[in-house]
Structure 1
């Protein structure tokens, strides 16, 4: 079978995007089970709760401010989400707290305002990376919550899916190469599929889902012809009190 990234069939992309909720819940459950086996406390908040916050609550909170910006508490929680969802590096969770509230609010405000004006993603990532403990990957998570249409999060699985056989480079150059491929794919999917306005964040989520579903042994959901939203809200809600509906609430109509 061809890789997802090389696939031109939008049904397969929709299937992965629709299955995101089921796969993120499976990963969250696995982390809870691992903690129990190690006789450690249950993660609080759980990955599912953190992801629901990042995908659904944070974008609205950020965009409700004028000018838009991220607070110190939100940046710390975003880092917690990123480390819980991917590779856990406790030192980063500590270092992010050393930034002042003023520096985080000013830096994110300036990055958002500048990008909204000139669409210079490299400059925005560079600006955010001036904060302590913030590299291109974390900076991309900040940008993705504000500009999902053109700023994909730099998840390891998504990078590998978009650039197979190439070692991940956690650099500004490495991120820009990845972002270029993902935004180009989003444009191609939009041109082929008029029922869903594909964003860079959608593509990134679908790539992540495709990879983790295989790792966790989760069967992808069936995408119907009329599917135009992402996140598998119904399946996630049926399995847990918290549902996940990434990207759907943040698409520009």
Structure 2
């Protein structure tokens, strides 16, 4: 699905296929990690009012989710898991309190070792999905045509585009809520699903080719 697509039904279909796409990857613990990230973590963060924050164990689990769903970079996990609890609490509390200033919120989180704009975006998306989408490679490529720049400036461009797209989807779907985070998940699911289909078609072609060669030999 192209980012410029205006067919609401296609966006809804891509979003609704997110869970099955997660399962189809067959990655160890990804289903449970994704459930934690999308369902458990937001509740934990919001029940800590008036001072919402994330803990080091939660940030570590979030990093596991991010790396398992995307590219595995164990050093980042090592950095995050060794962060001091009070430092993580303080940085995340300042970040959440900075919203809706996304630039300031990301900057508050990136003082933590191992946390760049992409990981910061995942933390913020768990807390405020209606404002801050996760900076995934797939969604970045779809929205901006580039997934190699993980700078704050690039994230702000990305977040703005997904906020705008979410508003358009809301208008088209008669007031149904469609957040920037929903846009990211729909894009991710669409891209991963297309890659999986292409891979399967390539495999089917190879099998037919091998079968055809065997028949010719016989």
TM-score normalised by structure 1 residue count? 0.76
Q: Among residues 52, 59, 64, which one is paired with 1:75 in the alignment? A: 59
SS of 2:87's partner is helix
Gaps of 5+ in 2: 199-218
Equivalent of 2:94, from 104, 110, 119? 110
Deviates further, 62-71 or 167-176? 167-176
* TM-superposition CA deviations, 1:158-194 (whole Å, max 9, x none): 1111122x35311001111111111110011111112
Equivalent position to 1:146, from 84, 107, 127? 127
Runs of 4+ aligned residues of structure 1 deviating over 3 Å after TM superposition are: none
Q: In the alignment, which residue of structure 2 is the partner of 1:174? A: 154
TM-fit CA distance, 1:136: 0.2
Partner Cα separation in structure 2 for residue 195 and residue 208 of structure 1: 23
> Residue 185 and residue 75 in structure 1: after superposition, are their counterparts in 2 closer, same or farther (change >3 A)?
same
Separation in 1 of the partners of 2:43 and 2:176?
21
Alignment of 1:33-112 (within 5 A): 43=28, 46-66=29-49, 67-112=51-96
Q: Which residue of 1 aligns with 2:204?
A: none
- Whole-Å separation in 1 of the counterparts to 2:186 and 2:8: 11
Consecutive unaligned residues of structure 1, counting only runs of 5 or more, are 32-42, 219-253
**In proportion to residue count, which structure has more helix?**
2
Pick closer, same or farther for the CA change 1:137–1:190 going to 2, 3 Å. Answer: same
How many residues align? The count is 197
Q: What is the aligned-residue RMSD (CA, Å)?
A: 1.3
Kept after mapping to 2: 8 A contact 1:72/1:104: yes
Structure 2 length-normalised TM? 0.87
Structure with higher Rg: it is 2
Q: 1:185 aligns with which of 165, 176, 201?
A: 165
